Structure 1
């Protein structure tokens, strides 16, 4: 038995084979080929496989977001079938006697440059499409694994770490748990694990070796341990722990349909955080009262070009309809910092967490912002959508946002597009500036939502992604809690509600404190809803409020 110690960031235990995440190799080597006919056939076989994959993706997208939202995959099929593209690759294999991977990469570059040099913006955008389909074909030729998971069964996924753009494309149905060499408790791998309700361990370092590939292992997200080829005693102990975990889930399921209300009658909204329309299944399965944070940036991260208004509209509409009239708070794109999409072509920044990100991108690229807002307003006709804006620091930002929103609404009225005229607008409180200005900001919006991860990062000057800074990244720090109280007090003075949508909202050791601070809503991973409901129902807010506030403010 091999025992690996890391840090647990998502509780629970799981048992299964270890599978290491496989990234595609972007360095395409050039080889001389003797049998060009066989090489052309190899290319054709890969092209047909890619075509089948795109058809499957199209059908999946139609089911999830409708035909218009799936148009991209249909366009990719047409491009993959383009005679000039196919013959260009075949001619290069014949003429230079080169391997298919190299021929595809060269022709892809030629086509991409051709599209990029055109005056028409639509045709310029096709440069990313031709690279995307070509990378798919190259991946098939080189044996790369779609989605990074080379397994037909469920696995414990191992990696050095995973970028947000990688996590969003994973086949989540295959994952029992995560274990990574690096990362932090606030990494997107950890957040995804908590959303899925599966165990995750980070920070194992070099102890996590690729020669463990395929070996059966137990992962314990509570203790941060991984046991490879566990001995009989360990296997029996963790099997019992797994059984208790299932029993606890069954116990929690009995709370479905019950109110989130304290012993003294204080009602709390318990909502869910999601990253895609797929996550709604988990929200409904766990009896979430609404969606407090839909991270819309993941629609951007899974694309190779800016998602169209129609693509976004279909995604937002799907979520709104499936939630059946419950509030769905959609955060406008939070690209930047650790969430990078190449087609945004953001300049390198020494300190990206404080750079051009989130609302700053939206206000400097209003055409991108307006496309998203149009999709959001259109989708509001199909459910109770609210819009939330991240990284706010000043009044002028909110006033400019509202001016742009009014322009979008005027356009939609002129086009006779239906939308909710009374859609709620809120802001993320995740900077000290937003807290200090919360008395004025509260008069401009309908709600606040505290992003505790970033608020902690900016308040304590501690990088939330820095794995070696975990002991300094303290979301329980009195400075952070005092800021939440200040924002809550100012929200209530202005007659608006305040929630928490950061990971701290699911920390049941803090639930009573949040009630004392005046928090009205907690938005958490779907798997945390029922345990949080159980805690809320056991609290007497009136009994301990004064003491909690006295300890915090003394």
Structure 2
């Protein structure tokens, strides 16, 4: 998609299940910006082996016909449960008072690296089918990223010793930015990660201390809250300073009202549900980069979410 002033945006789709591939093809999305791999483990009685995982990833990558597929390793923990992952040690913390603040995401995978190693091996094998990127969930510190990267390269060396042909340049290894800590450490993380993706759903939850699944506080969950927007701007600018690709996923990435604001904050790559791609395309074709920049400037001076929403809605209405 292009803005009316000619700047190009990359609109990609999220994928939860291989059955959704036809929807992505119909949407006109430029690849998969977030392939969630949890479906491989959800109802499994035992861990799928490397070859079984690689076959599924290869099928998806092949279907993208040369467009990049960003594969996120399993984002587990919290209150999630799977017999296969429970047996592997990746147990959710359903009994914890605060499961969202416990063992989840990358910190859980690093505690049980065999699962991470199997996914890395499968993704590397599937990379022969087309362009892929590997994404780590819920990274909060530089040492976590370095530890995962060491495992990634160790797995690649092991595969090469076994005769698996891999490109000299491995698929890029990047991170999801989903916590205020990661956003505020954006410069340091951008020096280590090969790309970054902002996960706005969890970033909003952790920034505002709001569980949107709780009826009592769900009304306080606002991805367009000024605090969330400032963190989005912070990590976007950090990535751009280090010349790292930066994208955004989550609900607001597919919201036609919000995308012009996000463009004004410096973002050019968006991953959303396939059904949102045509709507976002129509919205961005009607606005110029200068329009987006002016909107972002006004929004970033807004003191509360009500004023942000008013500005965004007025812009969308053309007033």
Aligned residue number for residue 262 of structure 1: 3
1:217-256 alpha-carbon deviations (Å, 9 max, x no partner): xxxxxxxxxxxxxxxxxxxxxxxxxxxxxxxxxxxxxxxx
Kept after mapping to 1: 8 A contact 2:259/2:284 = yes
Give the aligned CA root-mean-square deviation in angstroms: 1.4
Q: For residues 148-547 of structure 1, what are the structure 2 equivalents within 5 Å? A: 260-345=1-86, 346=91, 348-420=95-167, 421-547=169-295
Deviation at 1:267, TM superposition (A): 0.8
Deviation at 1:455, TM superposition (A): 0.1
Deviation at 1:450, TM superposition (A): 0.7
Aligned residue number for residue 315 of structure 2: none
Deviation at 1:544, TM superposition (A): 4.4
**Shift in CA distance, 335/544, structure 1 to aligned 2, threshold 3 Å:** closer
Report the Cα distance in structure 1 between the residues aligned to 2:137 and 2:202, rounded to whole angstroms. 10
Deviation at 1:279, TM superposition (A): 1.4
Runs of 4+ in structure 1 deviating by more than 4 angstroms, as ranges, are none
Kept after mapping to 1: 8 A contact 2:139/2:182 = yes
1:504-551 alpha-carbon deviations (Å, 9 max, x no partner): 111111111001011121101111111111111111111341352243
Q: Which one has more relative contact order, counting CA pairs under 8 Å at least 6 apart?
A: 2
Kept after mapping to 2: 8 A contact 1:497/1:520 = no
Kept after mapping to 2: 8 A contact 1:447/1:496 = yes
Secondary structure at the aligned position of 1:443 is classed as helix
Q: Which runs of 5+ in 1 are unaligned?
A: 1-259
TM-score scaled by length of structure 1: 0.52
Secondary structure at the aligned position of 1:467 is classed as coil
1:38-57 alpha-carbon deviations (Å, 9 max, x no partner): xxxxxxxxxxxxxxxxxxxx
Question: Which has more radius of gyration?
Answer: 1
1:299-326 alpha-carbon deviations (Å, 9 max, x no partner): 1113122221122111100001110110
Q: How many residues align?
A: 295
Secondary structure at the aligned position of 2:247 is classed as strand
TM-score scaled by length of structure 2: 0.89
**Shift in CA distance, 443/288, structure 1 to aligned 2, threshold 3 Å:** same
1:94-151 alpha-carbon deviations (Å, 9 max, x no partner): xxxxxxxxxxxxxxxxxxxxxxxxxxxxxxxxxxxxxxxxxxxxxxxxxxxxxxxxxx
1:335-368 alpha-carbon deviations (Å, 9 max, x no partner): 1124321343325322111111121121000111
